[in-house]
Amino acid sequence: MKLEELNHRELERWIREMAALCAASEIIIVDGSEEQRKKLIERALQNEELIKLDQDKYPNCYYHRSSPTDVARTEHLTFICTPNEDQAGPTNNWMSPKIAYEKARAIFEDSMRGRAMYVIPFSMGPIGSPRSKIGVELTDSLYVVLSMLIMTRAGKEVLDVLGIDGEFTRCMHGLAERDPKKRLILHFPQDNTIWSVGSGYGGNALLGKKCLALRIASHQARQENWLAEHMLIMGIGDPDGNTTFITGAFPSACGKTNLAMLIPPEQFKKKWSIWTMGDDIGWLFPETNGWLWAINPENGMFGVAPGTNHQSNPNAMKTIESDTIFTNVVLNSDGHVWWEELDDEPPTDGVNWQGLPWYLGMKDAKGNIINGAHPNSRFTAPIKNCPSKSQRTDWPNGVQISAILFGGRRNTLAPLVYEARDWEHGVYIATTMSSEVTAAQERGQGEVRYDPMAMLPFIGYNINDYLSHWLRFGKRLKHPPRIFHVNWFRKGENGQYLWPGYGDNLRVLQWIVKRVHGQVAAIETPIGFMPRPEDLDLAGLNIGEKELNLLFRVDKDEWMIELELREKFLEKLGMTLPVSIYKQHLLLKERIEKM
Ligand code: GTP
Ligand code: SPV
Ligand code: MN
């Protein structure tokens, strides 16, 4: 397809403008055809953006290595560029649009000389659905093109929906020098535009994902009365034959992908089933029947590799058997891949994520183990490969949601599960949720950080306006979903996880499903409603009474310290924090003090 064949004049003008800025020597429109995809793969193999894996063992799978200084989202280089700083709020980095465009323009200038610029028209959400949004990404990275073909619905069909004057998000991306000093991830909500330069990895570069489907979309969602959230979406089929759909927001690398494709423990398999709708992003809409409905705007998964194996996540292992791009994992000379905790033979002649010779157990000069795969190494795989995929992933309005889960990685404090008293209390729980920072963020690993709705790095506008929007949104719903908090990561005195997690998380979901359908009572505690011990099915688990008590313990001293930390966090949000959030905080404090 040629540029002249585009029917959308503004799109054509913008492409020419950007190609001129970058001095691209060629413009290639990605049409989504298999024929073109094969050609692009050949190109990527030639210029070494991709390495071919053993095609017998991994059909249609490829390997990619990003540069050692480009392995995770860089939040300190990510900006919301609104006319006023106040519109970006107290939690975002802000830059004025004028300065932002100038700075990025200087880096983009001439950066594609002698090379091709690819044009990727993509739909976030089923093509043609009234809930979907269209973006067009321009990029000089074939890795980005081939990943976007997995992660989104991309190609000519999207142009057909766009028509001659349809609205789209302008997503400008370039690798430039891949130098962190010349890297900027810029969002212009008022212009429906994203400019990302200097990074080729993950949420920095696959612009449909965090940049469009969360930062830009959250801004649009507030104006159009919906929610764009960092959430998995899943269905839980119960013995009565009902499927209950829920969403769950956990911060990066805190278990969304794993929960979304959970396999029930053996004794529950006959009666309980799990259906995967999405593993990272949910768009939530109030529908005319008074319920909340959700679609997954994505079409693939960008999942964390380390820790994924046939025990922890058999569905993910099936999903990545074909049609997958692996990034920053271990590679051996037979074209096989490996990562930490994979239950496959570790390679004897492998190279690590940096391309250096590596063997299992290798140590650095200080005697520390050297990992073969980067902790944020990932697989990019189509959702259609997932054995637990829901049949409804392409439904234009998605699925009806009965519960929302919030959770993080807390070694202490937070019990396995508790339920909010009502919507407002639930929004407070979500606002004050916290987690230990993981390798998905470049900086601050290990420290506990408050991460409202797991959206702190992804809210495209002022967080206080976002919280007000949440509060109002639920109150307007005739059937608001129930809100729960979960924590799979609480540890005992010996530093071991108290809860087995993974497939056994179904036991918690069972309780949640029963709560949603009014089938089970609960214990009221100062922090919310918790399961009665007899209502949690722990058959077959090796958990003693002591561990169980620890899992559900609400410790007054611990919570008093937590309340102080929360207060400091809420103070940081400033004077425009919605009053209801602070009111809920004081109510909780009162209840804890009475303990
Ligand atoms: P992003 O893609 O970064 O948004 O991450 P995610 O939320 O989808 O996290 P993912 O499911 O990929 O899990 C991240 C890490 O947490 C992996 O190393 C998992 O093995 C681990 N994990 C997931 N679920 C559990 C659980 O129930 N218990 C324990 N202990 N670890 C878990
Ligand atoms: C996350 O960090 O939440 C991810 C990975 O899902 S990235 O696409 O890099 O944002
Ligand atoms: Mn994520």
**Tens of pLDDT, residues 505-538:** 999 999 999 999 999 999 999 999 999 999 999 9
pLDDT of residue 521: 98
Number of C-alpha atoms within 13 angstroms, CB side, residue 168? 31
| Residue 380 Cβ contacting ligand 1 at under 6 Å | no
Strand, helix or coil for residue 342? coil
Confidence of residue 2 (pLDDT cuts 50, 70, 90): very high
Give the whole-angstrom CA distance, residue 455 versus residue 437. Answer: 13
Same-domain check for residues 514 and 478: yes
In the block, residue with structure tokens 């570069």? 205
Same-domain check for residues 25 and 129: yes
Give the whole-angstrom CA distance, residue 555 versus residue 549. Answer: 11
Is the residue at 54 inside a domain?
Answer: no
Same-domain check for residues 157 and 259: no
Is the residue at 134 inside a domain?
Answer: yes
Strand, helix or coil for residue 482? strand
| Residue 505 Cβ contacting ligand 1 at under 6 Å | yes
| Residue 393 Cβ contacting ligand 1 at under 6 Å | no
| Residue where a domain terminates, one of 338, 353, 385 | 385
Is the residue at 452 inside a domain?
Answer: yes
| Tens digit of each residue's pLDDT (9 = 90 or more) over 49-92 | 999 999 999 999 999 999 999 999 999 999 999 999 999 999 99
Give me the helix-helix angle, 579-593 and 463-476, nearest 10°.
80
| Residue where a domain terminates, one of 385, 404, 428 | 385
The model carries a pTM of: 0.98
Beta-sheet pairing, 417-419 with 482-486: antiparallel
Same-domain check for residues 26 and 162: yes
Same-domain check for residues 235 and 314: no
Ligand 1 centroid to Cα of residue 302, in Å, is 12
| Residue 101 Cβ contacting ligand 1 at under 6 Å | no
Task: Select from 71, 210, 378 the residue to mutate for testing ligand 2; criterion: most ligand atoms less than 8 Å from CB.
Answer: 210
pLDDT value at 444 more than 90: no
pLDDT value at 98 more than 80: yes
| Residue 378 Cβ contacting ligand 2 at under 6 Å | no
Q: Find the ligand nearest to 410 CA.
A: 1
Over residues 2-27, the mean pLDDT reads 97
Q: Can you give the three-state secondary structure of 405-426, one letter per residue?
A: EEECCCCCCCCCEEECCCHHHH
pLDDT value at 442 more than 90: no
pLDDT value at 269 more than 80: yes
pLDDT value at 439 more than 90: no
pLDDT of residue 447: 81
Average pLDDT value for the chain: 97
Residues 80-113 as b or e (16 or more Cβ within 10 Å = b): bbbeeeebbbbbbebbebeebbebbeebbeebbe
Percentages helix, strand, coil for the chain, rounded to the nearest 5?
A: 35, 25, 45
Q: Which two tokens stand for residue 96?
A: 């004025």
How many helices and strands, by DSSP H and E, does the chain display? 15, 30
Is the residue at 63 inside a domain?
Answer: no
Same-domain check for residues 370 and 424: no
Cβ atoms of residues 255 and 488 within 8 Å? yes
- CATH number, domain of 142, equals 3.40.449.10
First to last CA, the chain: 69
Cβ atoms of residues 321 and 58 within 8 Å? yes
Is the residue at 56 inside a domain?
Answer: no
| Residue where a domain terminates, one of 203, 224, 245 | 224
Same-domain check for residues 133 and 99: yes
Ligand 3 centroid to Cα of residue 249, in Å, is 9
Q: Which two tokens stand for residue 199?
A: 């990074």
Ligand 3 centroid to Cα of residue 271, in Å, is 30
Q: Which two tokens stand for residue 240?
A: 């009565």
| Tens digit of each residue's pLDDT (9 = 90 or more) over 370-418 | 999 999 999 999 999 999 999 999 999 999 999 999 999 999 999 999 9
pLDDT of residue 193: 99
pLDDT of residue 54: 98
Is the residue at 328 inside a domain?
Answer: yes
User: Which residues is 470 bridged to in the sheet?
Assistant: none
Cβ atoms of residues 378 and 357 within 8 Å? no
Same-domain check for residues 445 and 542: yes
By alpha-carbon position, which residue is closest to atom 10 of ligand 2? 203
Secondary structure element (H or E) that encloses residue 403, with its range: strand 399-407
Same-domain check for residues 458 and 327: no
Ligand 3 centroid to Cα of residue 280, in Å, is 5
Same-domain check for residues 519 and 473: yes
pLDDT of residue 441: 79
Task: Output the CA torsion sign for 497, 503, 507, 511.
Answer: positive
Ligand 1 centroid to Cα of residue 203, in Å, is 17
| Ligand 2 atom with least separation from CA of 209 | 8
pLDDT value at 437 more than 90: no
| Residue 280 Cβ contacting ligand 1 at under 6 Å | yes
Task: Output the CA torsion sign for 415, 592, 495, 256.
Answer: positive
Same-domain check for residues 407 and 318: no
- Residue-number span of the structural domain to which 338 is assigned: 301-385
Is the residue at 59 inside a domain?
Answer: no
pLDDT of residue 150: 98
Q: Which residues contact residue 195 at a Cβ distance below 8 angstroms, ignoring those fewer than 6 apart? A: 100, 101, 104, 108, 172, 173, 184, 186, 188
| Tens digit of each residue's pLDDT (9 = 90 or more) over 134-182 | 999 999 999 999 999 999 999 999 999 999 999 999 999 999 999 999 9
Q: How many CB atoms lie within 10 A of CB 431?
A: 27
Same-domain check for residues 451 and 551: yes
- CATH number, domain of 350, equals 2.170.8.10
Ligand 2 centroid to Cα of residue 252, in Å, is 6
Q: Which two tokens stand for residue 244?
A: 């209950």
Cβ atoms of residues 349 and 333 within 8 Å? yes
Please, what's the largest Cα pairwise distance for the chain?
72
Q: Domain tally for the chain?
A: 3
Confidence of residue 438 (pLDDT cuts 50, 70, 90): confident
Burial (CB count <10 Å: 0-12, 13-18, 19+), residue 544:
exposed
pLDDT value at 440 more than 80: no
Q: Find the ligand nearest to 206 CA.
A: 2
- C-alpha pair distances (Å), 187 with each of 96, 99, 109, 325, 344: 11, 13, 19, 27, 41
Our measurement of the distance from residue 309's CA atom to the centroid of its chain's CA atoms, rounded to an integer in Å, reads: 20
By alpha-carbon position, which residue is closest to atom 18 of ligand 1? 307
Is the residue at 57 inside a domain?
Answer: no
- CATH number, domain of 402, equals 3.90.228.20
| Residue 379 Cβ contacting ligand 1 at under 6 Å | no
Confidence of residue 331 (pLDDT cuts 50, 70, 90): very high
Q: What is the DSSP letter of 215?
A: I
| Residue 209 Cβ contacting ligand 2 at under 6 Å | yes
